[in-house]
Amino acid sequence: MTRPEVNSDLNRGASLIDATPKQQRNTLALWLSRLEGPQTLGSGRWFWLTLALAVLAAVIYPLFVDGWTVGNTAYFLVWTFMAMGLGVIWGYAGSLSFGQTAFFGLAGYGYGVLTLNFGAAYGFTLLALALSVGLAALLAVVLGYFMFYGRVQGVFIGIVTLSVTLVFQAFMAQTAGPEWAIGAARLNGFNGMSGMPPLTIPWPGGDVLLYADIALYYVLLGLMLVVYLGLRMLLNAPFGNVLVAIRENPERAEMLGYDVRRYQLLGFVLGGALAGLSGVLYTAWGQYITPSSMSITAAALPVIWVAFGGRKDVTATLIGTLVMIFLYQWLTIYGSQYAIVVMGVILVLTVLFAPEGIVLSLMRWISARLASTGGRP
C-alpha cells in the first residue's frame, strides 16, 4: 500500500531516528552496542541517559564558577587516565602494578625536556605529548617484556614495578648538579623541572595556550570521554575477553589457544601509555614535575583509587578516582599527612567490606534494584 505524498512529507521531521536511512541507523546501533558488554557495567537507555546528563553537567559547570576553580577541577581529570590504565592492568588482566607512576614520571620529564629544548611553536607541544607517551609505552614494553616473558607472576609483579618506580625516583632526585642537563633542560634533582610551556594548539589567529583554565578543562573532559568510551569498546571486544580470561585462569586461557604473555604485555603497555598521558598532562597543567611524583606515596595512591572504585570495571574506576582525588585535595587543606592516613584507612575499609570496590558494589546494588523494578528507576 502506498501512502499519499502529503503524509510522507508531514512525517519527514517526525523522528530523528526514523529520518535516518536504515543502513546508517544499523551502523549507529552497531557502534552503540559495542560500548556495552559483559566486561563493563552499565547498559541500556537509562545508563546512557545518566551518562549524558553527567556530561552535560560537566559541560555547563564552568558557567557557574570562576576560571581558577575550573582549572583546579581540570587537575582532577588529569589523573583519570593513569587510573583507567591501572584498571586495565590490574582489574582486567589481573596483574597488580605499582609502576604507573614510573610511566607517569618518565612521560612528564620527557615532556619537560622536549619542550624546554624545542619550545612550543608550530604545535610542538602536541608532538612532545605524543613522543612522551610513546616513551612511557616503550619503557612499559621493555619492563613488561622482562616480567611477563620472564614468568614473573602475582605479587612479584608488584614488587618489581614498585622497585623500578623507586629507583627512578632516587635517580631523578640526585640530578641536582649542572652536569645533569639534557640540552637546555636542567633536571634539577629534588626540586624538579619547571617553566615548560603548557599545551599549545596552533591556531590561525594566534596559538591557543592551554593554561590551567576553562579551555584546558574542556580538552581534558573531551579526552577523558574518548578514552573512557574507547576502553569500553576495547574491553568488550575479544581483546578484553582474553584479558579477563587471563585474570580468571591464565593456564586455561593458554590452553584455549591464547598467547597469554603477549596479551599481558599488551595490557601492560596500554595501561602504561595511559599513565604516561596523565604524566604529560600533569606537567603541562602545572608547568612543573618533581621526583616526588614517583615517591612511594604517589605509587600507592592510584592503587587506592582503583581499589576504592572497583578495579574490575572501568566506570567504577573512573568514578572512584574522581571521588578520591576530590576527597584527597579537600583533606589536604587540613594537612597532607592527615590526608594520606585517611586514604590508607579507606583502603583498609574497602578491602574489609567491599573487596570488589565501593563504587562497583554500589553500582551493582543499584542495577540489581533497577532490574527488580523492571528497569524503571
Partner 1 sequence: MILRTNGLCKRFGGVHVARNIDFGIEAGEIHCLIGPNGAGKSSLFRLILGAHRPDSGSILFKDEDVTHLPSFARIRKGMSVKFQVPGIFKDLSVRQNLVISFQHHLHGHDLEATIQRVLAFAGLEGLEDKAAGTLSHGRQQWLEIGMAVGVEPKLLLLDEPTAGMSPEETRQTGEMLRSLSAQGVTILAVEHDMSFVQQIADRVTVLHFGEIFAQGSVAEIISHPGVADIYLGASDE
| Residue ranges binding partner 1 (CB under 8 A) | 38, 238, 241-242, 244-245, 248-249, 251-260
Q: What is the dihedral of CA 102, 104, 105, 111, to 10 degrees?
A: 140
Q: Give the total residue count for the chain.
A: 377
Query: Are 375 and 44 spatial neighbours (Cβ–Cβ below 8 Å)?
Result: yes
Chain position carrying cell 595511559: 274
Closer of 221 and 244 to partner 1 (Cβ): 244
Q: In angstroms, give the least distance from the CB of 92 to partner 1.
A: 13
**C-beta of 8 vs 249, nearer to partner 1:** 249
Q: How far lies 153's CA from each of 97, 117, 141, in Å? A: 11, 40, 16
Contact at 8 Å (CB) between 299 and 98?
yes
Residue closer to partner 1, measured from CB, 194 or 361: 361
Residue closer to partner 1 by CB (options 18, 259) is 259
When the beta carbons of 186 and 311 are compared against partner 1, the nearer one is 311
Which helix (H) or strand (E) segment holds residue 178: the answer is none
Closest distance to partner 1 from the beta carbon of 258 (Å): 6
CB of 94 to partner 1, least distance (A): 12
Tally the C-alpha atoms within 13 A of residue 151's C-alpha that lie toward its C-beta: 1
CB of 59 to partner 1, least distance (A): 36
Closest CB 38 distance from partner 1, rounded Å: 6
CB of 317 to partner 1, least distance (A): 18
CA distance linking residue 307 with residue 359, whole number of Å: 9
Q: Are 99 and 146 in contact (CB under 8 A)?
A: no
Q: Which is nearer to partner 1, 243 or 289 (CB)?
A: 243
d(CA 47, CA 43): 6
